[in-house]
Every structure is written in C-alpha cells, then in structure tokens.
C-alpha cells in the first residue's frame, strides 16, 4: 500500500539484521502517514541526553533511507535479540512539543478516527510552533570554563574587569548588546576578553514577546436570576468533585448561558487553573470575546487570522500557565494547558466542530476524552443540542442542566409560519412574500431593526438553459454555477471556478440562458428597492472577507447605523441586539430539501437559532418563516420553540431506521481522475468488507459502494460506502481487519470519516 505522499511503500522496507540490545535505549517514532504502528529506531549516544518523548526528529525511512520528520512517542529499553535498528539522525526541538497527556489524547484520536497517529500529531501542533516563529538566535556571552584561571594570571583594565564582574553576577548567559549596556562599554573590551579566552560566546534562541490579551475596561458582574444560579451551583459542584462529568446546558436563546460560563470559569481560575472555551467560528463571536476579556486578566483568542509568530507566542504563554482563559474554534481543544480545570463548548450543535480533513475528529468527543483523562468537567451549551448529546443526557450518561426561561422574564418571540405556495408576491418572482413585506414595513416605521436570513449566497443560485433544460455546471464539479452579479461572473462555490456570465448555453449554444432563485445579493437588491430609505447591510462570506469585517458590521448594527441586516447562517449565531423586533426566514426549504440524514435537525436548529435573535428587550419581537412545507415537523416544532417535541419525534424516526445516534456510521470516500477505476476500487473494497463483516460480526452493515451525492468535485470522481454497526468499536474491528489487506491502485485516494456529518 502506497502512502499519499509517495514517500515509501510498505512492502519495500528492508529486512534488518538481528542483534543483541542489552542496555540500549530505543525510540518509537510515528510519521505523518496513515500507518498503524510506530517504527523503532536506535538512539545514538550523541542524542541520548537531548531526546525526549514529544519531540520531533529526523530519521531514515523506506527504500533509499530518505530523511523524514517524525515524532518520538516513546523511549524504552530495547529487547534482547532485537533487529539491528536504523539510528535517529537528528533531534529538531530543544524541548518537547507535547506532554504525556497530549500524546495519550492524540493516540486515542488516531484509534477512534481510524487514521495515523503521526497524522494527528502533525495536525494538532500549529505550523508557527513547529517553525518557532517569532524567535531568533541571539549571541550571548558567559565566562569560559578557564576564565578564573586566566583572570588570576592577568591584569585586566577597568572596563574588562567590569565586564567580568557583570558576568559573575549574572544568572546565565547575557546577550551581547545587554552586556555592553550593563558594563557601560562598547564592543571593543568584549572582543578583547573573547580573544583572551576569558569569555565565551554562545547562541541562544530568544523569544519575541507579545502582550497577554485582557481588557482595559472591566465591567461589573451581571445580576443572575434563580435558574442561572441553580445551574452555576451544579457546575461548581462538578468542579469541586475532582471527577469528570459531562454537563449539557440546554438553555433557551437569551437565557444567559454566557454569564453562567463566565462565573464557572471564574471559579476555575480561583483554583489556579485554566479554562478552554470552544466557539463555532471565532470571527462571528466578537460580543462573547469582549465579555471574556472584560472579566479576566488574561485571555488568549486563537483564530485563523493570527500570524505564525502570534500563534507561537500564545502557545508558549498557555503552556507556561500564564493564560487564564483560552477562546478559540475547534483546534483550541489542543491548547497545551498545564493546569486544565474546565472545557466549555458553546453552541455545541454547530457542524463546524467537526474537522473535514484528516484527522476527521469532532471537537466535542475529543474534549470529552481529554476531560476524562484530566478528571475535569466538560460543559456543553446550546438552545438546540445535537441529538447525540441529547440522547446521552436522556440516558443519564451526561448530566442535564436546564434554563428554559429568558433573562428578565422576557418571552420567546411568536413564530408565524407563512405558506408561500399561493403567495401573490412570491408568484411574481419576489423573495419577500406579502406577510413579510408588511411586517418589515411596520417594524421600520416603529424604529425597530430587522434581520433577514437566507442560507444561499450569490445573486442567483441556478444558471439554467430554457431550450435544453440543462443547468450550467462547473466543468470540474457536479454543481450548478451561481451567478454573482457584483462580479458579473458565474461561480462554483466548491472550487471557485468562475466564468463571465454566460450568454449562450455551453451544451446547446442557445441564447436562452436564465438565472433562477434568490441568493443574498439578489435579496439585498430587492430589499433596497422595496425600502429605499432603509439602511441595509449584507453579511455573508463574500461581503465579510476582510479581517475584522464581521465585528465592524455588527457594531454598526448595534449602534443603530443599520436598519436591516441580511445574510447567511453567520447572522444566526450568538447575536444579542435588543432593538431587533422582526426576524424573517426567507426560505426554510433551502435547508430542508437536502440529501442529508440531518437535514431536518439542521433546519430546526437554524430556524430556532435565528428566531432567538429577536424579542430580547421589552419591545418584544416576532418571527416570520416562509416555506412551501408548512406541515414539516422541523418547521412546526421550531415555530413553537419546542425542542423537546422535535427531539422526541426525530429520535423516534432515527431509531426506527437504525440511524445515528442509535448506531455508529463510518463513511469511506474514494476519489480519482478515472471514474471506472474509482468505481471498481470502491466496489472491490465494499465486497471485502461485506465478506469480513459476515465472518466477524453480522450486525455490521455495509452500504454501497455508490456514487457520492456530488460525484465529481474539483476534477475528481468520487464514490463512497458506509459501514454501520451498533457501536464504533464493532465498525473498527471489521475495518482494521480489511484495511491491512488493502492496496489502492495508483491514482485512487481514500479517506475515512468516522461519525460523518456531511454526506455530500
């Protein structure tokens, strides 16, 4: 089996000679490759004192003994009669990048998500940390080993004697520029002492310092109500127990969950410990970050816009225990906290907590395992928890904490389902139906603000030929192009292929090309036409590319500089604006009609979350949901703010079909440039899995192989299969027995996705 980088072939590893190994230490090393077990290397005498577990090394690997970077995961005594081993060539780090806790956690991830341990290690350590970005080698000076003997026989001038006195008092090597400052001299006397052999120069890596992130404007605690206090008491009890517990905080939108998080973290900090807070997308939560910075002395915010130097600086400060609170997206779960006391996952239902490349871990499950290792609580919070988390709470595997009421006894807003099938405005091509049109006008007249939600970006999501009935598709993906009017281009939202707006159909060359459907750009134009005096702002990934643009846009909305905020799902998360009196969901069907087992769950979550953006003050508010499926359970339950009813209904449906969370599913995706070759490979492996499942565990089901929903993506043909079983352990047993026998043909790649949440 050939690895994805083409470094070596498993079958090509040489047969080494047998040799005695008395009193010899060896290192177990893993590489950034899909390998099952570590390789064993001898440790040369010159590296024995330098090498520790958790460090990176260079070692020869495969045919030709090519030098490859790996991770030392264990040092042990060699067994007698061991084969003669290849030696490690170089140690790359001055100190370990990972401690024993993180090595254990990453090994669990590799086993849980069926990938290589080295692949996990390569993923969890930021590139800036590996490159030691923001550090530099500085020449420093110290007294030589022969200094005192040489000084005793030499009569030093005053300046040279001063330099010697400074170095005698120093606790370690002194940077050359600093030594000149302390001795009040130039470089001449220093160089003379070096020539005499009295002082020696060494190069030390110096860290470029940064600032710990806190707030210069601390704010007072908010007054908590009884349900918040009861919830906090339960969390503090878990903190004081010294044991791991997973707590699911099911709190209505606007119930004050963030204040509970802050008070719980303050308790953790009072113990001298650290807390990690995971949020779905760091750029979309500026309000939350400001609240943390105003309440704690040191807050590290890890996000994708940080430079490598900044990320390395933060990593070092966290590892030293200097940071109280770490806020970040899913990768922050790997923050190297030496004194972890609590992990909080806010909006735990968000799909962004699942990594979509190897290792395809879910941050919630990694956080759960890390908290179990370190015997600290895990706090999950959401108004619409995932069904996986909810079922664990129902089964008493996790502790359920409930906050059903909003703060200040504010009611949840009424939600009106608007059937648009016979709406006269919709029938004429408008995106805003009659009821929503009237409601927006009334809200603006009353000096209220409006949020409009549409989960389709661009101008028109479908470019279609009336003559031949073909959609104008991306040549590299089985996806219809989306027309972006501002760019005058048709764009593929998967690979960013783009062409000028087509005048003729690429299939039949007819000029009858039309643009159908509504994206956020078209909605923005329509709203501007209908309400010319309103100040309108669009928030989607096209308009919010500039760093800091999300925060800037939301601040304008907060200060009343914007009347209507419209956008994609980024406006559905964590926003708290008291003056919002109306929320409109333009098209609930765009979420509901997806080829995805979780389409109903995601529709409920998004409608419920965006509905929670209004009614957050005494002004009240209401929500209008436009749909052509007004009887769909997810829409009906969301309109009633009835998570319990939806969860009961959907879990019943899932149980009847044997779908997650009542089973464990692993998806295996194959891709390549040749469709027949990918198809044959997928079917061959599916047959092997069926045969193995029949022998080992008849309860393991193999579904497929079949074309993926998007069969061609970025030029690659894609087929997939699914392995389903009552537990992940049973899936793992069948997969690993077959995996060892697999040989992928050249040109075909394979990815394994445990607990997939995206089936495209």
pLDDT mean by block of 10 residues, the chain; 760 residues: 36 39 79 87 90 95 87 89 83 92 96 95 91 74 87 87 90 85 89 90 63 57 91 97 96 92 96 95 73 90 80 89 93 95 96 94 98 97 96 97 89 92 92 96 95 90 81 86 86 88 81 85 94 94 80 88 91 78 91 82 91 82 93 94 96 93 96 96 96 93 93 94 95 91 91 89
Residue 704 near residue 720, CB atoms below 8 Å: yes
Half-sphere exposure of 739 (CA within 13 A, CB side): 16
Question: CATH 1.10.10.10 residue ranges in the chain?
Answer: 135-207
Distance CA 89, CA 357 (A): 31
Residue 126 near residue 315, CB atoms below 8 Å: yes
Task: Please give the sequence-ordered ranges of beta strands (E in DSSP) within 556-695, or none if there are none.
Answer: 564-567, 580-585, 622-627, 664-672
**Token pair of 630 as six digits:** 């007004």
Half-sphere exposure of 665 (CA within 13 A, CB side): 21
| Strand, helix or coil for residue 204 | strand
Is beta strand 25-31 parallel, antiparallel or unpaired with respect to 482-484? unpaired
pLDDT of 137: 63
Domain 664-754 -> CATH class: alpha beta
The beta-carbon contacts of 1-4 under 8 Å, at least 24 apart in sequence, are 1/742, 1/743, 1/744, 2/744, 2/746, 3/33, 3/34, 3/35, 4/33, 4/34, 4/749
Is beta strand 580-585 parallel, antiparallel or unpaired with respect to 622-627? parallel
Query: Could you please report the per-residue DSSP string of 92-159?
Result: --SS-SS-HHHHHHHHHHHHHTTS-HHHHHHHHS-HHHHTTTTEEEEEEEEE-TTHHHHHHT----HH
pLDDT of 23: 60
Phi, psi (deg, nearest 5) at residue 377: -75, 155
pLDDT digits (tens, 9 = 90+) for 491-516: 988 888 988 888 888 778 888 888 88
What's the burial of 409, exposed, middle or buried (CB within 10 Å: 0-12/13-18/19+)?
A: exposed
Residue 760 near residue 710, CB atoms below 8 Å: yes
Of residues 326, 258, 337, the one with CA closest to residue 296 = 326
CATH superfamily ID and name for 410-457+519-655: P-loop containing nucleotide triphosphate hydrolases (3.40.50.300)
Distance CA 483, CA 146 (A): 77
Instruction: Identify the DSSP state of 242.
Output: T
pLDDT of 204: 67
Sheet of strand 56-61: strand arrangement: 39-42, 25-31, 66-77, 56-61, 90-91
Is beta strand 340-346 parallel, antiparallel or unpaired with respect to 274-278? parallel
Question: CATH 3.40.1440.60 residue ranges in the chain?
Answer: 10-130
Residue 376 near residue 340, CB atoms below 8 Å: yes
Distance CA 8, CA 475 (A): 34
Of residues 297, 288, 346, 353, the one with CA closest to residue 325 = 297
Please, where are the H alpha helices in 430-519? 434-445
Of residues 551, 559, 536, the one with CA closest to residue 451 = 536
pLDDT of 14: 39
Distance CA 705, CA 564 (A): 47
Phi, psi (deg, nearest 5) at residue 536: -115, 140
Residue 747 near residue 3, CB atoms below 8 Å: no
Dihedral angle, C-alpha 127, 130, 131, 133, nearest 10 °? 80
SS3 of 415-449: the string is EEEEECCCCHHHHCCCCCCHHHHHHHHHHHHCCCE
**What CATH number is given for 10-130 in this structure?**
3.40.1440.60
Sheet of strand 482-484: strand arrangement: 482-484, 489-491, 498-500
pLDDT of 628: 93
Distance CA 375, CA 245 (A): 8
pLDDT of 60: 94
Largest CA distance in the chain: 105
Region label for 757, one of left (φ > 0), alpha (ψ between -120 and 50) or beta (otherwise): alpha
Residue 541 near residue 493, CB atoms below 8 Å: no
Phi, psi (deg, nearest 5) at residue 175: -55, 145
| Strand, helix or coil for residue 199 | strand
Of residues 328, 284, 288, 257, the one with CA closest to residue 567 = 284
Residue 706 near residue 737, CB atoms below 8 Å: no
Rg (CA), the chain: 30
Distances (CA, A) of 372 to 368, 375, 378: 6, 5, 9
| Matching residue, tokens 């939806």 | 646
For the domain made up of 226-405, give the CATH fold.
Answer: Rossmann fold (3.40.50)
Of residues 526, 562, 568, the one with CA closest to residue 543 = 568
Of residues 35, 3, 1, the one with CA closest to residue 114 = 35
Q: What is the pTM of this model?
A: 0.86
Distance CA 511, CA 54 (A): 63
Query: Could you please report the per-residue DSSP string of 149-198?
Result: HHHHT----HHHHHHHHHHHH-SS-EEHHHHHHHHT--HHHHHHHHHHTS
Of residues 374, 365, 317, 318, the one with CA closest to residue 342 = 374
pLDDT of 200: 87
Is beta strand 462-465 parallel, antiparallel or unpaired with respect to 90-91? unpaired
Question: CATH 3.30.70.600 residue ranges in the chain?
Answer: 664-754
Of residues 443, 498, 447, 505, the one with CA closest to residue 471 = 505
Residue 628 near residue 421, CB atoms below 8 Å: yes
The beta-carbon contacts of 475-481 under 8 Å, at least 24 apart in sequence, are 476/712, 476/713, 476/714, 476/715, 477/710, 477/712, 477/713, 477/714, 478/710, 478/711, 478/712, 478/713, 479/710, 479/713
| Strand, helix or coil for residue 568 | coil
Distance CA 302, CA 282 (A): 8
What's the burial of 64, exposed, middle or buried (CB within 10 Å: 0-12/13-18/19+)?
A: exposed
pLDDT of 63: 77
Distances (CA, A) of 757 to 348, 361, 551, 660: 14, 11, 29, 10
Question: CATH 3.40.50.300 residue ranges in the chain?
Answer: 226-405, 410-457+519-655
pLDDT of 546: 80
For the domain made up of 135-207, give the CATH fold.
Answer: Arc Repressor Mutant, subunit A (1.10.10)
State CA 611 to chain mean position distance.
25
| Matching residue, tokens 């995971």 | 278
Distance CA 154, CA 142 (A): 18
């Amino acid at each position: 089996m050939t690895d994805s980088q083409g470094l070596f072939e498993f079958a090509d590893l040489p047969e080494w000679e047998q040799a005695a190994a008395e009193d010899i230490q060896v290192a177990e090393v893993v590489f950034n490759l899909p390998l099952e077990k570590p390789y064993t290397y001898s440790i040369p005498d010159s590296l024995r004192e330098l090498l520790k577990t958790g460090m990176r090394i260079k070692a020869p690997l495969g045919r030709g003994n090519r030098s490859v970077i790996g991770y030392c995961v264990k040092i042990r005594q060699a067994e007698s009669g061991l084969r003669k081993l290849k030696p490690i060539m170089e140690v790359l780090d001055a100190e370990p990048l990972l401690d024993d806790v993180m090595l254990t956690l990453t090994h669990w991830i590799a086993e849980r998500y069926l990938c290589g341990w080295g692949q996990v290690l390569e993923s969890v350590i930021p590139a800036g940390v590996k490159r030691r970005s923001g550090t530099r080698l500085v020449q420093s000076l110290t007294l030589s080993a022969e200094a005192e003997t040489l000084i005793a026989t030499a009569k030093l001038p005053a300046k040279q004697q001063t330099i010697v006195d400074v170095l005698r008092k120093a606790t370690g090597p002194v940077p050359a520029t600093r030594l000149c400052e302390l001795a009040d001299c130039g470089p001449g006397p220093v160089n003379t002492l070096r020539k005499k052999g009295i002082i020696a120069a060494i190069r030390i890596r110096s860290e470029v310092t940064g600032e710990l992130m806190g707030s210069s404007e601390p704010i007072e605690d908010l007054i908590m109500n009884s349900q918040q206090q009861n919830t906090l008491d339960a969390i503090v009890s878990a903190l004081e127990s010294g044991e791991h517990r997973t707590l699911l905080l099911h709190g209505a939108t606007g119930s004050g969950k963030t204040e509970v998080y802050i008070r719980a973290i303050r308790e953790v900090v009072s113990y001298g410990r650290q807390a990690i807070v995971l949020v779905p997308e760091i750029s979309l939560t500026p309000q939350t970050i400001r609240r943390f910075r105003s309440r704690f002395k040191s807050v590290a915010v890890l996000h994708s816009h940080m430079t490598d130097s900044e990320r390395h600086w933060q990593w070092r400060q966290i590892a030293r225990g200097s940071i109280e609170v770490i806020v970040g997206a899913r990768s922050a779960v790997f923050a190297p906290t030496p004194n972890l006391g609590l992990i909080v996952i806010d909006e735990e239902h968000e799909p962004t907590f699942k990594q979509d490349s190897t290792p395809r871990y879910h941050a919630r499950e990694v956080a759960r395992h890390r908290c179990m290792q370190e015997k600290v609580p895990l706090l999950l919070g959401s108004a619409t928890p995932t069904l996986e988390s909810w079922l664990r709470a129902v089964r008493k595997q996790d502790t359920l904490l409930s906050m059903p009421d909003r703060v200040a006894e504010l009611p949840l807003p009424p939600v009106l389902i608007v059937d648009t099938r016979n709406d006269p405005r919709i029938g004429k091509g408008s995106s805003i139906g009659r009821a929503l049109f009237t409601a927006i006008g009334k809200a603006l007249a009353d000096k209220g603000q409006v949020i409009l939600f549409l989960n389709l970006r661009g101008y028109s999501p479908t470019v279609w030929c009336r003559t031949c009935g073909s959609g104008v598709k991306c040549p590299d993906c089985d996806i219809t192009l989306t027309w972006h009017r501002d760019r005058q281009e048709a764009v593929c939202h998967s690979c960013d292929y783009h062409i000028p707006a087509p005048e003729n159909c690429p299939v039949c060359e007819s000029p009858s090309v039309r643009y159908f459907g509504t994206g956020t750009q078209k909605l923005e134009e329509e709203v501007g036409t209908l309400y010319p005096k309103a100040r309108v702002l669009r928030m989607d990934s096209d308009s919010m590319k500039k760093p800091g643009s999300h925060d800037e846009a939301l601040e304008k909305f907060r200060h009343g500089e914007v009347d209507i905020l419209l956008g994609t799902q980024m406006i559905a998360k964590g926003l708290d604006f008291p003056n919002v009196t109306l929320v409109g969901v333009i098209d609930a069907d765009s979420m509901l009609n997806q080829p995805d087992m979780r389409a109903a769950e995601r529709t409920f979550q998004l409608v419920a979350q965006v509905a929670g953006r209004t009614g957050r003050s005494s002004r009240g508010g209401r929500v209008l949901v436009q749909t052509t499926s007004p009887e769909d359970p997810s829409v009906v339950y969301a309109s009633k703010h009835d998570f319990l009813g939806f969860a009961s209904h959907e879990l019943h449906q899932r149980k009847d079909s044997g779908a997650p969370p009542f089973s464990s599913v692993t998806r295996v995706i194959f891709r390549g440039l040749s469709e027949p070759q990918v198809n044959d490979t997928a079917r061959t492996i599916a047959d092997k899995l069926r045969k193995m499942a029949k022998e080992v565990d008849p309860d393991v089901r193999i579904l497929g192989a079949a074309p993926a929903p998007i069969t061609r993506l970025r030029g690659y043909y894609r087929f997939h299969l699914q392995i389903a079983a009552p537990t992940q352990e049973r899936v793992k047993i069948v997969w690993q027995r077959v995996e060892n026998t697999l040989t992928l043909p050249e040109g075909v790649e394979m990815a394994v996705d445990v607990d997939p949440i995206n089936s495209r």
